[in-house]
Amino acid sequence: MTQKAYWGHVHWGREWLQDLLSRNDTTNLSEEDLALFNDPAFKNAFDDIPNHLSAQVLAWYLSWSGFRKNLGRSTIEGIHTAFKKLWEQVIGSVLQPKHNTKRQRKSSGLPARNWTGVALKGSIKNKLSADGVDRDHSLAMKKEHMDKILTWAKSDCPEIGSALHFIYVVLANMPISNVHISDDVKKQVTKRLKFLAFASMAWIIWTRCCELVKLKRRDIQMDTERIDSILVKYMRGEQDALTIDDMDEYCEIHLQHRKGWQKKEDKSFRGIDLHVNHYKILPRPDLTSCDTFFWLSIWIRWVEYVHLGRPMEAEDFVFPAMGANGVVQPGEPLTQDNVQKMLSEATAGSSIEGKYSTHCFCRGGVQHWFIRAPNDEKWPMDVVRFWGGWAEGEQLNTLMHYLLDELHAYEHDYSGALHRVPLKNNPSLAGDRALYAPALRKELASFQTSVLGDIKDVRGALTNLDAKVSRIEDMLQCLTEAVTVSNHIGLRHFSFSCAPTQVFITQLSPAASTTSNASSPLDLMSCKPVIPNVPPRNCSYKMPRGKAWKEVVRHWQEGAPELNLHVPLKDWPYEYTRGQNHGLHSKYNQQRIIATEFLDQYGSNEAAFTAAYNTSLKGIKALLEAIKAARQKRGDMEIRRRHSE
């Protein structure tokens, strides 16, 4: 079937060449290509026996197939291989290409192996890759997936808890009796702890499986005594009690097999030591399932205490192979197939759907620190590139596939381009680090202007509030005086409620007060002082002249609640006839003169007062003038009311 496909590619190539010759279209050809086209050997370039133009014509055909026909990568490779096989069968593979430089670009040897054809095929493959022919990337192992795997591991192998307690007893130097662990339990616990340590490390430092399985004990530098004391706090559940020094403690991992770093170290970056492919692993108790500091340290202690009975040696593999009988082989590394098998078992047991290869940890860790971590912990692109070990020439598509799942965004966010304070490029993908950038002078000036405007508004609001408080104080004063009036009008029970413009007093009967709170409100007092007219205006009842002066005396002594005069005039404070109520001053004095003349001058003797002023024939105005004339005749001085009255 493959041979048939090859002959098909050769047949289509020859048809393309004949069509090109028949059309004889040379309008878009350069001088060099035109000379090639006019060469008599051009028409025989795809014959069974190649000629000196075969390599260049094949390059034309590959270019046309890839860039004009947009054929896929596999098809381009098939065309190239088909002509290679054709000419190998005819002239053999003994004709090897000479070592040509890019400057010479001469064709010799087997045409399909010629530098021009091979280079062009590579450029076409790059073009197709950029156009969307993706590599088969694994799904990302998210932080929540790691949590689910940890939960599953503990439930699937409950003995992990006993293993951790055993390590705690040893580290805490507690007395311990003979401990016997069955081979089955030892094997199961070892398998689970190995995977938890391996997965957390791959997730944290984004290492490839082939790199991590080669890690040896000499590649890990740690202060064993300090780390053991921190592990004791971990296993006591005292992670929150870790001191600053504890949180700054780290073990340093050297991934000497990290892809791409060897060449950088050889070049030495012009003598600058960037400490490349070294990673400081610090305690992260907030990332329980991904806390490499904890799980790696526990794994090493488990291997040393349970399997080896001695500290790991420098050349021992950190993740050694384990035989079918459960015996650890420190000189043999764990295989990638075993890692994939453990991963598949963990995802299936944790009910995590999807395809996960060993690259899932690298991709999940990258996305966590670049996208999903809290805003103040997200990493910018330069940190991502360093930590992941990506080379400067790494294809953008490759990096983006690690960084993104379904989220498509850009490195810089210019959505706020119209902002009057220019926005600078942000090192984080979505610009979240702008939240923590130092403020600019323009930003502070804008903020100050805004705050001053708000303060001005607040001052205006406080001024209005002060005026409202003054009115409320007046209302409360009215309410206080209304309570005083209650003694005059015989109210036994009161219920007060203030409205915006009036104060209501509700009179309750003795029976109702004990059985119900319901009552009919009676408007007894207005907050604004009132002196009723005598005689009343707009009233169908016409008051006799001889009775009008008696009404004035009643207003003075008792008030008139039914007319909103709740406080007797004799008890009015000075302020009631001043300020906004100055219009009441004249009426107040008129009624005061009449009332005090009757009460003080005539001792409330109605007969004497009536005889003196003939009140039955005089109205209020005439009576007032008569009293003033009598006082002037008697020499009584009019005493003006003072503020102290």
Mean residue pLDDT across the chain: 75
**305 membership: H or E segment, kind and range:** none
Q: Do 31 and 58 have their domain in common?
A: yes
- 384, pLDDT greater than 80: yes
Answer yes or no: is 268 within a domain: no
Give 539 or 219, the one with higher predicted confidence.
Answer: 219
Give 317 or 261, the one with higher predicted confidence.
Answer: 317
- 515, pLDDT greater than 70: no
Top-ranked range on mean pLDDT: pick from 314-318, 428-432, 617-621: 314-318
Top-ranked range on mean pLDDT: pick from 249-263, 273-287, 493-507: 273-287
- 320, pLDDT greater than 60: yes
Least confident of 388-402, 468-482, 539-553: 388-402
**Do 482 and 503 touch, CB atoms closer than 8 A?**
yes
**What domain count does the chain have?**
3
Please report, rounded to a whole number, the percentage of residues in the chain having pLDDT higher than 90: 21
Q: What is the dihedral of CA 294, 295, 301, 303, to 10 degrees?
A: -170
CATH number of the domain where residue 156 is located: 1.10.443.10
**Per-residue pLDDT tens over the stretch 90-112:** 665 444 444 444 444 444 445 55
For residues 8-13, average pLDDT = 88
Q: Do 80 and 187 have their domain in common?
A: no
Answer yes or no: is 80 within a domain: yes
Q: Do 241 and 384 have their domain in common?
A: yes
Q: How many residues does the chain have?
A: 645
Q: How far is CA 197 from CA 21, 288, 325, 331, in A?
A: 66, 12, 21, 19
> What's the pLDDT band for 298 if we cut at 50, 70, 90?
very high
Least confident of 66-70, 106-110, 470-474, 537-541: 106-110
Answer yes or no: is 596 within a domain: yes
Structural domain ending residue among the three candidates 405, 434, 459: 405
- 33, pLDDT greater than 70: yes
Domain range spanning residue 248?
Answer: 143-257+275-405
User: What is the DSSP-derived secondary structure letter of residue 66?
Assistant: I
Rounded distance, CA 105 to CA 283, Å?
Answer: 57
**Do 235 and 167 touch, CB atoms closer than 8 A?**
yes
Least confident of 90-99, 160-169, 345-354, 539-548: 90-99
> What's the pLDDT band for 590 if we cut at 50, 70, 90?
confident
Q: Do 209 and 115 have their domain in common?
A: no
Rounded distance, CA 342 to CA 348, Å?
Answer: 10
For residues 144-173, average pLDDT = 92
645 C-beta neighbours (distance < 10 Å), count: 9
Least confident of 113-117, 143-147, 182-186, 632-636: 113-117
For residues 462-468, average pLDDT = 83
**Do 519 and 507 touch, CB atoms closer than 8 A?**
yes
> What's the pLDDT band for 423 if we cut at 50, 70, 90?
very low
Structure token digits, residue 495: 């219920």
Do the bridges between strand 494-498 and strand 502-507 make them parallel or antiparallel, or are there none, so unpaired? antiparallel
Q: Do 114 and 21 have their domain in common?
A: yes
571 C-beta neighbours (distance < 10 Å), count: 14
Long-range contacts of 222-231 (CB under 8 A, 24+ apart): 222/251, 222/252, 222/297, 223/249, 227/251, 227/293, 227/297, 228/171, 228/297, 230/283, 231/167, 231/168, 231/171, 231/294, 231/297, 231/298, 231/301
Q: Do 149 and 237 have their domain in common?
A: yes
Rounded distance, CA 562 to CA 524, Å?
Answer: 7
Q: Do 372 and 224 have their domain in common?
A: yes
pLDDT, residue 504, reads 33
pLDDT, residue 321, reads 92
Rounded distance, CA 410 to CA 429, Å?
Answer: 6
Q: Do 117 and 186 have their domain in common?
A: no
- 128, pLDDT greater than 90: no
Instruction: Return the SS3 of 54.
Output: helix
- Cα-Cα-Cα-Cα dihedral sign, residues 181, 186, 190, 193: negative
- Which candidate, 534, 545, 142, places its Cα nearest to that of 353? 142
Please report, rounded to a whole number, the percentage of residues in the chain having pLDDT higher than 70: 70
Answer yes or no: is 209 within a domain: yes
Compute the half-sphere exposure of residue 131: CA atoms within 13 Å on the CB side of its CA. 12
Q: Using alpha carbons only, what angle is made at residue 348 by residues 345 and 354, rounded to the nearest 5 degrees?
A: 115
Top-ranked range on mean pLDDT: pick from 90-104, 334-348, 512-526: 334-348
**Per-residue pLDDT tens over the stretch 604-613:** 888 888 888 8
**Per-residue pLDDT tens over the stretch 162-210:** 899 999 989 988 877 667 788 889 999 999 999 999 999 999 988 878 8
Answer yes or no: is 47 within a domain: yes
Least confident of 100-109, 186-195, 546-555, 589-598: 100-109
pLDDT, residue 576, reads 83
Structural domain ending residue among the three candidates 405, 428, 450: 405
Q: Do 245 and 339 have their domain in common?
A: yes
Answer yes or no: is 341 within a domain: yes
pLDDT, residue 263, reads 47
pLDDT, residue 503, reads 34
pLDDT, residue 507, reads 35
Give 432 or 400, the one with higher predicted confidence.
Answer: 400
- 124, pLDDT greater than 90: no
Structural domain ending residue among the three candidates 385, 405, 425: 405
> What's the pLDDT band for 643 if we cut at 50, 70, 90?
very low
pLDDT, residue 42, reads 87
Those residues with Cβ within 8 angstroms of residue 336's Cβ, 6 or more apart along the chain or in another chain? 209, 210, 213, 358
Rounded distance, CA 371 to CA 428, Å?
Answer: 9
pLDDT, residue 517, reads 37
Give 112 or 498, the one with higher predicted confidence.
Answer: 112
For residues 497-524, average pLDDT = 35
> What's the pLDDT band for 540 if we cut at 50, 70, 90?
low
Answer yes or no: is 465 within a domain: no
Top-ranked range on mean pLDDT: pick from 18-32, 290-304, 457-471, 572-586: 290-304
Q: Do 248 and 353 have their domain in common?
A: yes
Rounded distance, CA 508 to CA 140, Å?
Answer: 77
The model carries a pTM of 0.47
Answer yes or no: is 577 within a domain: yes
Q: Do 171 and 65 have their domain in common?
A: no
**Do 185 and 159 touch, CB atoms closer than 8 A?**
yes
pLDDT, residue 389, reads 72
Q: Do 45 and 193 have their domain in common?
A: no
